[in-house]
Amino acid sequence: MLTLANINKKYADGTHALNNITIHLPKGMVGLLGPNGAGKSSLMRTLACLQNVDTGHINFDGLNILESPDELRKQLGYLPQQFGVYPAMSCHALLEHIAILKGLNSEQRKRQINELLSLLNLTGFANKKVSKFSGGMKQRFGIAQALLGNPKLIILDEPTAGLDPAERESLNNLLVSISKERLVLLSTHIVEDIENQCRFVAMINQGKLIQSGNVDELVHQLAGNVWLLKRLPSELPAGSLVLSKSYRYGKPIFRVYAPQCPEPEAVAATATLQDKYFYELKSQGAKNATS
């Protein structure tokens, strides 16, 4: 549905934000993973036609979006990581304003705004100023505005930031339900959310695409090679990587990638997307260090 070919973007300060990214993203929920400063927001802004690229092509559903950004915007729903609102406008007025900008006529606006307010449980706050909303409510407003119209491409940058667990879960469910007909590109630091909802994931680091594919296939690549250790042995088998260190009841637990059991006390663990993510990051770090 969305194809990026050889996308490069360098900022004036020399940062290579997007480094030769080539990827094909299918319809449905697509997760975008990467550490801070990896280039996720740059990629999303590029896809939202907010900034140009230096080289490359982007094709969405047969549309060259770099050549015809106006056409893409007609099919776009966008929620940036941080956004503000006009201070004096109520939730309804602001949704109405954005709906008009999205080209909805009076009847369409009335129907969809009411539906979205109801869907996101904002009906009771429709006449309250968004600038006075709590973080979670504001985020719900953000989702509502992104869903206005009939977007085929929905780009959500950290949509669950600031939401409590219940809000997060509900929102994730909503996103899954709407992603059947469209491409929902979700950027988040919560790997679990992506693992639970996305069929496809792309991982980027330092502007480069380091891995992409179906979530289960990627996770499956580590199957049988992830181990839980209470302490690290003095020497790990060749090709091993410490994926993470966490604590349980105050005691450390190491998740280690190893082609074979690293020590007798090691317990085999089910591989997760997070393991794959750390594995790819650390592998790339090791490669960079070697080169």
Single-letter amino acid, residue 6: N
Distance CA 240, CA 263 (A): 12
- What minimum distance in Å lies between the beta carbon of 257 and other proteins? 37
Q: Which stretch binds other proteins (CB under 8 A): 66-74, 183-191, 209-217, 231-239?
A: 66-74
**124 vs 162: CA distance, rounded Å:** 21
Sign of the four-CA dihedral 110, 48, 190, 150: positive
How far is 217 from 215, CA to CA, in rounded Å? Answer: 5
Contact 127, 177 (CB under 8 A): no
Site string (25-54) toward other proteins, x via CB under 8 A: --------------------x--xxxxx--
Binding-site size for other proteins (CB under 8 A) equals: 63
Q: Scanning residues 86 to 145, which ones bind other proteins (CB under 8 A)?
A: 86-89, 97-98, 100-105, 108-109, 111-112, 115-116, 118-121, 124-125, 128, 132-134, 136-137, 140, 145
Contact 185, 155 (CB under 8 A): yes
For other proteins, which residue of 15, 20, 59, 150 counts as binding (CB under 8 A)?
A: 150
Is residue 162 a contact residue for other proteins (CB under 8 A)?
no
Query: What residues are paired with 157 via a beta bridge?
Result: 187
What three-state secondary structure class fits 111? Answer: helix
Shortest Cβ 101–other proteins spacing (Å): 4
- 268 close to 227: Cβ distance less than 8 angstroms: yes
Measured between alpha carbons, how far is 218 from 203 in angstroms, rounded to an integer?
11
C-beta separation of 45 from 33 below 8 A: no
Q: Which of residues 13, 14, 36, 82 is near other proteins by CB under 8 A? A: 82
Q: Is 14 in the site for other proteins (CB under 8 A)?
A: no
Stretch that binds other proteins, among 175-183, 196-204, 250-258, 261-269 (CB under 8 A): 175-183
The Cα 137–Cα 130 span in angstroms is 8
d(CA 106, CA 123): 19
Give the helix/strand (H/E) hosting 273: helix 273-290
Query: What tokens appear for 9 in the block?
Result: 């973007």
Output 73 or 276, the one with its CB closest to other proteins. 73
54 vs 216 by CB, closer to other proteins: 54
Minimum distance, C-beta of residue 192 to other proteins, in the bound complex (Å): 18
Cβ closest to other proteins, residue 42 vs residue 212: 42
Pick the binder of other proteins from 68, 127, 173, 260 (CB under 8 A): 173
Part in contact with other proteins (CB under 8 A); list of ranges 78-86, 201-209, 219-227, 230-238? 78-86
Distance between CA atoms of 243 and 282, rounded to whole angstroms? 8
Binding-site ranges for other proteins (CB under 8 A): 45, 48-52, 70, 73-74, 76, 78, 80, 82-89, 97-98, 100-105, 108-109, 111-112, 115-116, 118-121, 124-125, 128, 132-134, 136-137, 140, 145, 147, 149-151, 163, 166-167, 170-171, 173-174, 177-178, 181-182
